[in-house]
Amino acid sequence: MKDDQPRAAVGWRAAPWFMLAVLTCVNAINWADRQVVPILFPAIRSELGLTDTQLGVVGGLAFSMIYAISAFAFGRAADRSIRRNLIVGGLVVWSVATAASGLADGFGSLFAARFFTGIGEASLYPCAVSLISERFPAAARGKAMGIFGAAAAVGSGVGIGLGGGLAESAGWRTVFFYYGGVGLLFVPLLMLVREDRRPSTEDHKVPFREVIGGLLGDVRLVTVWISGMIMIGCAVGYSAWVPSYFVRERGFEVSEAGRLFGFGYLAGGVVGSLLGGYFVDRRRRVRFAGDMDVSAACAFIAVPIVLITLLVDSPIAYTASAILGPVAIFAYFPALQTILADLVPQRRLGLAYAVHILFLGGIGSAAGPFVIGAVSDAAGSLLLAMYVPIVGMVAAGLLAWYSGTLIRRLTPPDG
């Protein structure tokens, strides 16, 4: 185990739980700005005349790849600088860029706005998770990561549910203006979080390429990241296109699909994140790297639930599965964050989480919506394209199980 003890906090502004509460709120804003785009696909497609492939690029690639690349700069800075200040700067950038999305007049301008949204949002994850890993002991880290992760469900649910209704009543452009404005309101709250400047160490002088090479040369970490990359690609791709599937194939109104899947992600995602963190803390007490057992089980459980959502034409069935699917999907991810804190020294966690973002937030999140959109265009069937994430979830579960076995075999007894 690495750096299990949190740093001493002085005053409520430096208290771990206050910090976690603020970061969780900011994370919810982060995900609302990110996930509002898919529910706007029908309106954007109609007004700007974009193809499904272009929408997949806007919903994934335009944001995710620059998000992943920028995370390396923020990850390096997170290991050396005041992480709160980095998050504040990023929040301002991504909120302004989100509002600018409402001014788009075609594919190029919308791509550019989402590009800068990705740069700003890249500040949050490496800085926030580094802070949480530092200030919470290992025994409570799963719970803390689960709470932080639950914000993704809240943000996704609000982004999809509220965004769909606003798009019909006020137009898709106004949705972007509102969401960007709300983000700026959270800057003063974030400034209340106290973080003292950390002393420079010899480790900070290690060349960037050497640190990254060491992380990518660790087969334990790479296996965890590939598993997460596949799972998040499936999750983001599925969540991006399932509202459009219900609009096209089942005749739902956009607002109706937004309410169904917005509520599903809000309720199911919050429950899933909290349950995932809870079971991670329990399982890691049973055996080292037991965290990954939780991820494997969740991936396998998600498969039949997603199939029910797509294939069973019963309001009771697809409403229940719209909630239970996110429970299983969100419960998969807390383990990936806790296991990194076990395998990587605290002083290098910022860059480790930047690599984590490259695999999950960059490659996985970009590929998911794009692949489904491209398969839909090529096959002429969105239903056929929606089978792609189902196959991927099976692969992610197998890799998660294997990664836990690999970690136990290759990790020295002293961690």
Rounded to an integer, what distance in angstroms lies between the CA atom of residue 169 and that of residue 177? 14
Q: Taking residues 1-17, what's their average pLDDT?
A: 59
Which tens digits make up the pLDDT trace of 96-117? Answer: 999 999 998 888 899 999 889 9
Q: What pLDDT is recorded for position 404?
A: 95
Q: Provide mean pLDDT across the span 81-91.
A: 92
Q: What CATH number should be reported for the domain whose range is 12-193+207-410?
A: 1.20.1250.20
Mean pLDDT of the chain: 87
Tokens of 356: 């984590």
Q: Which residue type sits at 359?
A: F
Tens digits of per-residue pLDDT, 16-37?
889 999 999 999 999 898 878 8
In whole angstroms, give the CA distance from residue 255 to residue 17.
Answer: 36
Tens-digit pLDDT profile for residues 379-409: 888 899 999 999 999 999 999 999 999 999 9
Would you say residue 205 has pLDDT above 80?
no
Q: How far apart are CA 162 and CA 77, in angstroms?
A: 35
Helix (H, G, I), strand (E, B) or coil at 332: coil
Domain locations along the chain: 12-193+207-410
Q: Rounded to an integer, what distance in angstroms lies between the CA atom of residue 233 and that of residue 227?
A: 10
Name, of 21-30, 198-207, 374-383, the range with top average pLDDT: 21-30
Structure tokens at 204: 């900070």
DSSP 14: G
pLDDT of residue 30: 92
Average pLDDT, integer, range 129-157: 86
Position 91 pLDDT exceeds 50: yes
147, 61, 157: which is closest to 333 by C-alpha?
147
Give dist(CA 308, CA 318) in Å, integer. 7
25-39, 189-203, 280-294, 363-377: least confident range: 189-203
Taking residues 136-153, report their average pLDDT.
86
pLDDT exceeds 80 at position 5: no
- Would the pLDDT of 9 be above 80? no
Indicate the residue type of 48.
L
For 265-269, what is the mean pLDDT? 84
Q: What is the pLDDT of residue 6?
A: 43
Average pLDDT over residues 120-145: 88
63 — pLDDT class (breaks 50, 70, 90): confident
Confidence grade of residue 202 (pLDDT, cut at 50, 70, 90): low
The one-character DSSP state at 305 is: H
CA distance 251 to 246: 6
Task: Write down the pLDDT at residue 341.
Answer: 84
How would you write 370-394 as a 3-class SS string? HHHHHHHHHHCCHHHHCHHHHHHHH
Per-residue model confidence (pLDDT) at position 198: 65
Is pLDDT of 318 > 70? yes
If you average pLDDT over residues 230-257, what whole number do you get? 88
State the Cα–Cα distance between residues 145 and 156, nearest whole angstrom. Answer: 17
Residue 172 confidence class, pLDDT cut points 50, 70, 90: confident
Tens-place pLDDT, residues 209-218: 888 899 999 9
Q: CA dihedral defined by 200, 219, 280, 354, rounded to 10 degrees?
A: 40
Q: Give the Cα separation of 177 and 173 in Å (integer).
A: 7
Predicted local confidence at residue 4, as pLDDT? 44
Beta strands in 248-299 (DSSP E): none
Three-point CA angle 271, 124, 220, nearest 5°: 75
Exposure pattern of 89-114 as b/e (b: 16+ CB <10 Å)? ebbebbbbbbbbbbebeebeebbebb
Question: Could you say which DSSP state residue 340 is in?
Answer: H
Using 50, 70 and 90 to split pLDDT, how confident is the model at 161?
confident
